Amino acid sequence: MRKLCLLFSIFLIAAYVWGDNIEFSGGESSVELRDGRENVTLSGGASVTVGSMIITADEITLTGENWRYVECSGGTSITDEERGISIKTQSIWYDRENERILISSWFEIDDTENEVYAAGASLEYLLEEELLRLSKDISLLKASDDSIMRCTAESVVFSRTANTVELRGNASVDWDGDRYEAEVISVNLDTDSIMLDGRIRGVING
């Protein structure tokens, strides 16, 4: 009972320190309180809610001072209806203090607010700036009124606030029957404007 009361005290401190409340649940759980460190491991339908963001996974571990870090493995998904974004992958590491999510496994992003879908093998998501850095075999699709814009590159920087993408490394854009290739391609997804930099190639269907 004493450990249970202490656990709830730690929970309240974490909610106060990092600003957003953190709620968690799981079919099975284990708690380790030792040397001033708190570790909580959840499995069997594990779920963590931080603000408007809901994270589910086969296993979730909360570690660090005031449960700063959230580590997930197996069947991991992030859903944030307020931001209009969802992510599916196999593992994530989330730093609640710095509002930073790291993914080093294959992921899929569905951004309903900007009508963007993206997939790749590595991701850094800065929540406060709404900035995503995607790398390793990136494919990004943008729905427009006339057709689907298809972008590929070795790395992509996607600003959700500005709704722009910067493609680097074997960058290409296929849109409305045309194809553009360059070392660097910048796309404004609101205006569908495309800027090419470095060695460029293109095929325009006239």
- Same domain for 120 and 87, yes or no, is no
Q: Whose CA is closest to 61, among 43, 74, 75?
A: 43
- Same domain for 82 and 8, yes or no, is yes
Task: Report the SS3 class of residue 147.
Answer: coil
Q: What is the CA radius of gyration of the chain?
A: 20
Taking 60 as the threshold, does the pLDDT of residue 148 lie above it? yes
- Same domain for 54 and 19, yes or no, is yes
Which range of residues forms the domain containing residue 154?
106-206
Q: Which two tokens stand for residue 108?
A: 């899929």
> pTM for the full model?
0.85
Is residue 9 within 8 A of residue 33, CB to CB? The reply is: no
Calculate ∠ Cα 20-64-44, nearest 5°: 75
- Same domain for 206 and 110, yes or no, is yes
Domain count, the chain: 2
Tokens 């992921």 appear where? 107
Taking 60 as the threshold, does the pLDDT of residue 12 lie above it? no
Average pLDDT over residues 17-43: 73
Q: Whose CA is closest to 189, among 113, 76, 90, 96?
A: 113
- Same domain for 88 and 110, yes or no, is no
Quick: pLDDT tens for 98-144.
999 999 999 999 999 999 999 999 999 999 999 999 999 899 999 87
CATH code where residue 3 lies: 2.60.450.10
- Same domain for 23 and 61, yes or no, is yes
Listed residues 81, 100, 119: the one ending a domain:
100
- Same domain for 127 and 63, yes or no, is no
Tell me the C-alpha distance between 69 and 13, whole Å: 14
- Same domain for 94 and 114, yes or no, is no
Query: Phi, psi (5° rounding) for residue 60?
Result: -130, 135
Quick: pLDDT tens for 170-194.
999 998 888 999 999 999 999 888 9
Tell me the C-alpha distance between 151 and 187, whole Å: 9
Percent of the chain topping pLDDT 90: 62
CB within 8 Å of 36: residues ≥ 6 apart: none
Quick: pLDDT tens for 42-54.
988 899 999 999 9
- Same domain for 61 and 95, yes or no, is yes
Tell me the C-alpha distance between 11 and 7, whole Å: 6
Listed residues 52, 68, 100: the one ending a domain:
100
- Same domain for 110 and 206, yes or no, is yes
Listed residues 50, 68, 100: the one ending a domain:
100
Count of CA atoms in the C-beta half-sphere (13 A) of 140: 32
- Same domain for 67 and 152, yes or no, is no
When mean pLDDT is compared across 3-12, 85-94, 183-192, the lowest value belongs to 3-12
- Same domain for 124 and 163, yes or no, is yes
